[in-house]
Structure 1
Amino acid sequence: MADSELATRAPESDAQDTNTPSSSGSPALASAPTNPPMTEHCTSDRPLPTGQSSTGELTKLNDIDVYISKPADYPHTPSRLLLLLTGGTGLHSVNNQIQADRFASEGYVVVMPDLFGGDPAPNSRLTAAEIGETSATMGAAGAGGGPSSSSLLDVFKVKALETAKTFLIDMWLARHTEEKVMPILEKVLEGARDEFADAVSHGSGVYAVGYCFGARYVLLLAAERPARPGQQQRQGRDEEANRSATVPPQIKAGALAHATLVSKGDFVGLKAPLSVVCVEDDPVFPDEVRIAGEEYMSENGVEHEVQVYPGVPHGEC
């Protein structure tokens, strides 16, 4: 992959260069909740530096909207193909596009697909209409209160807004499940292998990096897994074992940073080498999930590295 600073810095947050990784142990793999919450880092972009903009292009690949960024000297100089999977801010986030451009400057042809079909995650700030509606409701509830009603009302408003944000995120997550996202990735990979066959050949496969929401899909693409119903017809049946055919890893190697929505079971079947970057005590990528994943990779001979940064929140490693 590209240098560690580039690969681990979240597009939607500033890096904390003074943090150092810590080590951890490895308990047994077990089940875990599959839908932990997302934080505001998952749905908000940081302000762009003045005058900075993206340089790639928005186009379609196998009928999927993608952002493509290429090295300046491509195709005259051989490059490798990198699939960049975003957090909830999605395809049109300029931060995400600039991150793709930075990978391109390191010698990768970068394909960044729209994982959400034009429906990025709700921003961490509610819309003006939603805030106004909530405030009006809270104002009516607090009318006629005593001397402390104003301060209590303020607390109530904050809690109501937080609840509204969580509700919007939950509704959004329900629209963008594995069953919706994986077919998008399969189409993009099929198109990319055809369109950029030279880059795939030069790298002996496709590389992938994922942030936040997209990080889980790096895990899924790095694993050998049972074929989905739509794939079984193409893959055939394993009659001898009387089970569905499996799909081999779709990437050569992957990296994931500040993952969310990952369960311990998502590590099962991993084959491709992985680099995992995360923070300590992350509520959306709990230590128990990470540690169980480390143990699984160690026990099953999966080449991997794990960096854990203490003292920073999710999204700022």
Structure 2
Amino acid sequence: MSEAGVATKAPETDAQDNPTIPGDTPAQSGPSMGQHCTTDRPTPAGEAPKGEIRKLGGVDIYLAKPDEYPSNPSKLLLLLTGGTGLKSTNNQIQADKFAEEGYVVVMPDLFEGDPAPNAGATVPDPESQSSFLDMFKLKAAETAKSFLIDMWLARHTEEKVWPILEKVIHAAQGEFADAIGNGGGIYAVGYCFGGRYVLLLAAERPVAAQSGWTGAQKPADEESGEQAKKGPYIKAGALAHATLVSPDDFQGLKAPVSMVCVENDPLFPDEVRMAGEDIMSKENLEHEVQVYPGVPHGFGVFGDYDDPNIKEAQATAFMQMLDWIEEH
């Protein structure tokens, strides 16, 4: 991916071009680390979800609330997941972690019950591959999975995901008006697939560019020769190791943004990140970017690792995102 364009390949598409077996090794150089976008890490012992799955605006969500809510004021946080989706135990616990910090967390099902292929399986460790045959079988499976991932991404485009977000936000503005009012708006965090949508929610964009606009009637601004715009939908956002991001996604940003990035990440190339930083700086947008070396793509999502350096980085990334939304 040499162009400063969108990282359009599926998380596993490049796996067949790189012989590295995915696992805990922090310094892996190949795109095979994209498996962390669609596959859960083992859940640490003693951890279990505390929230509930229910409907909000006709959309399935995982809802996590502070123990003292609503007697004590809270703020509303939208959590957008990677491909593992709504029913991932790790994603649910991630939502709980933010709830413990005083946020009503709404985690919508961005995929309408269709998480990424093999989501829910654990990432194998390199040591578990006992023979060359085992390694060959794994690579063949990855090649097949890359095709399934491409098909999955084709089913979950912005045109499909954006209306889901609009429904959830509209419903939340009614049911959780107290939390939104207390925070002065909605906050958002996103991981992998969900990271790009934090950028879109943080932007002011032409109505025509948003899939929720039907075009049945021209808005007043358009009648007068001006292009109608909507957004931003959030007060502040934080994203970790986003995927499928292009430099254009940084255009029109209005809400402050914090980014957790991975060094040499093929799913969020340096040229895309640097182009984004340049756009945000030129637009005087308040932002921060932290690049974490020696960790795999997807490290910020809750889950267990054998490598203590990755564990520490995961905790640091969580605090980076938490501190950012608390400061805004």
TM-score of Structure 1 vs Structure 2, range by shorter chain = 0.7 to 0.9
How do 1:97-246 residues align onto structure 2 when only pairs under 5 Å count? 97-123=92-118, 157-227=137-207, 228=210, 230-231=212-213, 236-239=219-222, 242-246=225-229
User: CA, structure 1 residues 60+125, in 2 after alignment: closer, same or farther (shift >3 Å)?
Assistant: closer
Aligned counterpart, 2:281: 298
Aligned counterpart, 2:65: 70
Larger-Rg structure: 1
| Aligned partners of 2:88 and 2:120 also within 8 Å | no
| Per-residue deviation, 1:50 | 2.7
User: Quick one: distance in 2 between partners of 1:59 and 1:97?
Assistant: 13
How do 1:279-298 residues align onto structure 2 when only pairs under 5 Å count? 279-298=262-281
| Aligned partners of 1:208 and 1:218 also within 8 Å | yes
Aligned counterpart, 1:140: none
User: CA, structure 1 residues 84+65, in 2 after alignment: closer, same or farther (shift >3 Å)?
Assistant: same
Aligned counterpart, 1:81: 76
- Residue 112 of structure 2 aligns with an amino acid whose one-letter code is G
String of CA shifts for 1:144-202, please: whole Å, max 9, x gaps: xxxxxx96x77764443221011011011010000000000000000011100000001
User: CA, structure 1 residues 307+47, in 2 after alignment: closer, same or farther (shift >3 Å)?
Assistant: same
| Per-residue deviation, 1:238 | 1.7
User: CA, structure 1 residues 306+170, in 2 after alignment: closer, same or farther (shift >3 Å)?
Assistant: same
- Residue 86 of structure 2 aligns with an amino acid whose one-letter code is L
Aligned counterpart, 1:35: 8
How many correspondences in the alignment?
A: 264
Which SS does the other structure have where 1:306 is aligned? strand
Which SS does the other structure have where 1:192 is aligned? helix
Show structure 2 runs of 5+ residues with no match.
Answer: 12-33, 122-130, 300-312, 314-328
| Aligned partners of 1:90 and 1:116 also within 8 Å | yes
Aligned counterpart, 2:125: none
| Aligned partners of 1:124 and 1:165 also within 8 Å | no
Q: Normalising by the residue count of structure 1, what TM-score does the alignment of the two structures yield?
A: 0.78
State, as a whole percentage, how many aligned pairs show the same letter: 66
| Aligned partners of 2:7 and 2:267 also within 8 Å | no
Q: Select the residue among 38, 44, 54 that pairs with 2:39.
A: 44
User: Quick one: distance in 1 between partners of 2:168 and 2:257?
Assistant: 21
| Aligned partners of 1:87 and 1:214 also within 8 Å | yes
Query: Does 2:235 match 1:252?
Result: yes
User: CA, structure 1 residues 155+200, in 2 after alignment: closer, same or farther (shift >3 Å)?
Assistant: closer
- Residue 218 of structure 1 aligns with an amino acid whose one-letter code is V
| Per-residue deviation, 1:49 | 2.4
Show structure 1 runs of 5+ residues with no match.
Answer: 1-29, 127-149
Greater mean alpha carbon deviation, residues 41-50 or residues 67-76: 41-50
User: Quick one: distance in 2 between partners of 1:169 and 1:197?
Assistant: 37
Q: Normalising by the residue count of structure 2, what TM-score does the alignment of the two structures yield?
A: 0.76
String of CA shifts for 1:195-242, please: whole Å, max 9, x gaps: 000000010100000000000000000000111364356882423663
User: Quick one: distance in 2 between partners of 1:282 and 1:268?
Assistant: 22
Which SS does the other structure have where 2:86 is aligned? coil
User: CA, structure 1 residues 73+233, in 2 after alignment: closer, same or farther (shift >3 Å)?
Assistant: farther
Aligned alpha-carbon RMSD (Å): 2.2
Aligned counterpart, 1:21: none
Which SS does the other structure have where 1:100 is aligned? helix
- Residue 121 of structure 1 aligns with an amino acid whose one-letter code is A
| Per-residue deviation, 1:47 | 1.4
User: Quick one: distance in 1 between partners of 2:71 and 2:280?
Assistant: 38
Which SS does the other structure have where 1:119 is aligned? coil
